[in-house]
Structure 1
Amino acid sequence: MRVTVVGSGYVGTTLSACLADAGHDVTAVDIDPDVVAALNDGRAAIHEPGLDDLLAKHVDGSLRATTAYDSVPDADVTFLAIGTPSNADGSIDLGGLTAAAEMTGEAIAAGSDADPDRDTAARHLVVVKSTVTPPGVAEIRAALRAGAGEAADRVELATNPEFLREGSAVDDFQHPDKLVFGTDSAWATERLESLYDPIVAAADGDVPIVRTDPETAVMIKYANNAFLASKISLVNDLGNICKRFGIDAYEVADAIGLDDRIGAKFLRSGVGYGGSCFPKDVDAIRAAAREAGYEPALLDAAVAVNDGQPERMLDLLDAHADVAGERVAVLGLAFKPGTDDVRNSRAIPVIDGLLERGANVVGYDPVATENMREHFSGEDIEYADSAAAALDGAVAALVVTDWDEFAALDDGFDAMTAAPGSAEPVVVDGRRIVERRDGIAYEGLTW
């Protein structure tokens, strides 16, 4: 099938590369010429395992990038994968997405006018891949129809939410837990099914498909992320209680995870969730609920627990040492391993708290250092080129991201030094990635 993907950010780039790999002819559209140039050179603007390999494999063949909407009229499916950033109140800003929808409609209309031989009765499917709340669907549909003008009656809007995890997005797309199609007609559903046929076939047909309306489809995405975020905050809340009782929260979690009503996933308590999805999506559905006259008390509590975990980490440090004027290492700057994304990383409030305490902060991450410089310049904190270098001379270390290399540091902690008045250097582990060892005062956040 011929596919146009409007927007080449994290979701759009993954979508374009994976659809090309599935055998479709894909044109990626983005307003940033630098992003377009990078894609046409086989490079992604983000760090995502396996993504550059797919781009390099298909660029100049079944995948190309452009700043123009010229491919839209002839596409079998056009995806809108434009970011929906948060407003100050947590609601989402649909400005970029509605503008792209309107330009897509204009391109469809212009294509019909420019080519007298074009089948003007042909229907065009436009699919929202962006994360939008149910009320937002109507706004996008209205913008699309306004742009299409007289061609509006043959343009149909559908929604197809993504469930990609940063660090494993390519694998998640190619081996989905589920596919959700939000459509208003059997024709649109069948077209999406045809598009995803190669992916379903590769999984031997064992992919659940949810067929519903556009608004319900996007609500499924929000409910999915809100549930997982709440599960993380609940296990963190229980973990904080376990810490007070001197109980290992991980032993408790392993036991309750055997209950198939609970399940073992997302029971690893620690410093909390971050990234672009959970915080943004939970805030957005909370704001939408309030707009509709409902107070989402449980989701509010989930956010409050998550926001408090970095401060609990700092409290554990305070119990061992005064770090004013002392070198303190922060290991891990990305919000999770496998990505260079620092959006809502728990390292940000941790570093803020250390700077408030007067510490000399040195940060290290295998891939996310440059992105963190947008939050903290080299004048604010020092950046090390290895975990060992960050630990050298530090009186304390706070482990924020569970990169595998932190578990293999072994002798790296030997280069640390005790703070004045302390018997040993302090390691506060927010991810249970470092083992207790002689020579350090080790504190697990919830164990």
Structure 2
Amino acid sequence: MSAKIVIIGYGHVGRAMHRLFPNAVPYDPHLPKYNDRGKVRGADLALVCVPTDETRSGEADISVVVEVVEWLDADLICIKSTIPPGTTDALIGLTGKRVVFSPEYEGETPWQKGLTDPLFWPFIFVGGSRVDANAVLEHFQARLGPNLTYLTADAPTVEVAKYMENTWLALQVTFAGEFYEIAQAFGADYNTAREMWALDPRMSKWNTLVFPSNRGFGGKCLPKDIAAIVAASSLAGYRPRLLVEMLATNKRFRDGT
């Protein structure tokens, strides 16, 4: 008998998970087609794909994640929503349930299919206890096959890695934007300078195109996630000044000031 997999939340991430697990049962209270909570009870694996929006203070609002984990009765709960470091362990302590974190890398770029289609992902990470993380990995391995990189670690390490990835993407955009302004100040051509710079094999062209009509980074993830890791780090005792300045610089770019 095949495992019962359910998907909680049917937004951008939830739909990606449904493409990966087409026989999974979705639940989303905001969609009449999928709003029957009874259908997702008794699952072997629940994939939690609910929003973690930015609060006024910049923190990630994890209230929906907490609520969902509290009422779910699945054997394994895998959080796909981006959550601050320490959240998975806190949820285990709060509920006593088998909870792990597996970051979502469903990118918004139109330029590389492998970053927007879960069937072409090159890696899967799961954070949590070794037993539970490996149990979740088995579901992904059965669907994606032997040629990916599969890694497990403690939950905080994987939670930090997800924020590290999103922050790096935003930092690339900000770096490019600053050098666009520097080129403008000297009457230089940014695009030519960029091509010369990129010939150094240590460089990467990713996220370094600058569009004068659409400056800085935006989208569903980068702004809120960088604000969230700044807030979480500050609460943990370290204020990441580079990231604070990056957010301020991005606001300047986005506002056109």
Same fold per superposition (TM over 0.5):
yes
Match of 2:165 in 1: 224
Q: Which amino acid aligns with 2:164?
A: A
Alignment CA distance shift 1:170-1:163 (3 Å)? closer
Q: Cα gap change, 1:80/1:223 in structure 2, threshold over 3 Å: closer, same or farther?
A: same
Q: 2:20 aligns with which of 10, 18, 21?
A: 18
Q: Which of 81, 88, 108 is the matching residue for 2:56?
A: 88
Mapped partners of 2:39, 2:144: distance in 1: 30
Task: Confirm or deny that 1:194 pairs with 2:194.
Answer: no
Mapped to 2, the partners of 1:172 and 1:307 lie a distance apart of 30
Matched, 1:27 2:25: yes
Alpha-carbon distance between aligned partners in 1 of 2:224 and 2:26, rounded to the nearest angstrom: 25
Question: Does the aligned pair in 1 maintain the 2:16–2:117 contact within 8 Å?
Answer: no
> 1:251: Cα distance to partner?
1.4
Instruction: Please say if residues 216 and 253 of structure 2, whose CA atoms lie closer than 8 Å, have aligned partners that are also in contact.
Output: yes
Counterpart position of 1:269: 210
Please tell me whether residue 241 in structure 1 is matched to residue 146 in structure 2: no
Pair 36,15 (structure 1): closer, same or farther in 2 beyond 3 Å: farther
Quote how far apart the aligned CAs of 1:135 are: 2.6
Summarize the Cα distance change of 1:5–1:169 in structure 2 as closer, same or farther, 3 Å threshold. farther
The 1:206–1:128 alpha-carbon spacing in structure 2 relative to 1, beyond 3 Å, is same
1:360 corresponds to? none
Q: Indicate which of 146, 149, 157 corresponds to 2:99.
A: 157
**Is 1:182–2:127 an aligned residue pair?**
yes
The CA deviation string for residues 283-333 of structure 1, in whole angstroms up to 9 with x for no partner, is 000011111121211111211221111444xx7xxxxxxxxxxxxxxxxxx
Q: Work out which of the residue numbers 200, 214, 222 in structure 2 matches 1:278.
A: 222
Cα distance change on mapping 1:252 and 1:90 into 2, 3 Å: same
Contact 1:257 1:267 in 2 (8 A): no
1:173 and 2:173 matched:
no
Give the counterpart letter for 1:80 in structure 2.
V
- Partners of 2:76 and 2:63 lie apart in 1 by 21
The separation in 1 between residues aligned to 2:169 and 2:175, in whole angstroms, is: 10
CA RMSD of aligned residues (A): 2.1
TM-score by length of 2: 0.88
| Shift of residue 170, structure 1, vs aligned partner | 8.0
Following the alignment from structure 2 to structure 1, what is the Cα–Cα distance between the partners of residues 84 and 4? 28
Q: Distance in 2 between matches of 1:246 and 1:306?
A: 22
Q: CA offset at residue 66 of structure 1?
A: 4.0
Aligned mates of 2:7, 2:178 — CA distance in 1: 41
Match of 1:139 among 90, 114, 138: 90
Task: Give CA deviations for 1:328-372 in whole Å, capped at 9, x if unaligned.
Answer: xxxxxxxxxxxxxxxxxxxxxxxxxxxxxxxxxxxxxxxxxxxxx
Give the distance between the partners of 2:155 and 2:243, measured in 1 at CA.
24
Q: Match for residue 242 of structure 2?
A: 298
Give the SS at the match of 1:161. Answer: coil
Question: What SS does structure 1 have at the residue aligned with 2:24?
Answer: strand
Alignment partner, residue 72 of structure 1:
41
Distance apart, 1:169 and its partner CA: 8.3
Q: TM-score, normalised by structure 1?
A: 0.52
User: Structure 1: where are the runs of 5+ without partners?
Assistant: 38-64, 109-123, 146-151, 316-447
Residue range with higher mean Cα deviation, 80-89 or 276-285: 80-89
CA contact (8 A) 1:257 1:265 kept: no
Amino acid at match of 1:274: G
Letter in 1 for 2:66: T
SS at match of 1:90: coil
Higher relative contact order (CA 8 A, sep 6+): 2
Shift in Å, 1:226:
0.5
Instruction: Please name the residue that 2:147 is paired with.
Output: 206
Aligned equivalent of 1:98: 66
Structure 2 Cα separation of the partners of residues 262 and 95 of structure 1: 40
Question: For the pair shown, which has the larger CA radius of gyration, 1 or 2?
Answer: 1
- How do 1:400-439 and structure 2 match up within 5 A? none
- Is 1:251 matched with 2:192? yes
Aligned equivalents of 1:79, 1:243: Cα separation in 2: 47
CA distance in 1, matches of 2:93, 2:10: 23
What is the aligned length? 249
Query: Which segment is superposed worse, 276-285 or 292-301?
Result: 292-301
Secondary structure class of the residue paired with 1:87: coil
Residue 268 to residue 7, structure 1, CA distance change in 2 (3 Å): same
**What secondary structure, in the 3-state scheme, does the structure 2 residue paired with 1:158 have?**
strand
1:371 corresponds in structure 2 to: none
Match for 1:68: what amino acid? R
- Deviation, 1:266, is 1.2
Shift in CA distance, 82/295, structure 1 to aligned 2, threshold 3 Å: same
More helix per residue: 1 or 2?
2
1:382-404 residue CA offsets vs partner (Å, 9 max, x unmatched):
xxxxxxxxxxxxxxxxxxxxxxx
What is the alpha-carbon distance in structure 1 between the residues aligned to residue 210 and residue 122 of structure 2?
24
Shift of 1:127: 0.6
Deviation, 1:198, is 4.5
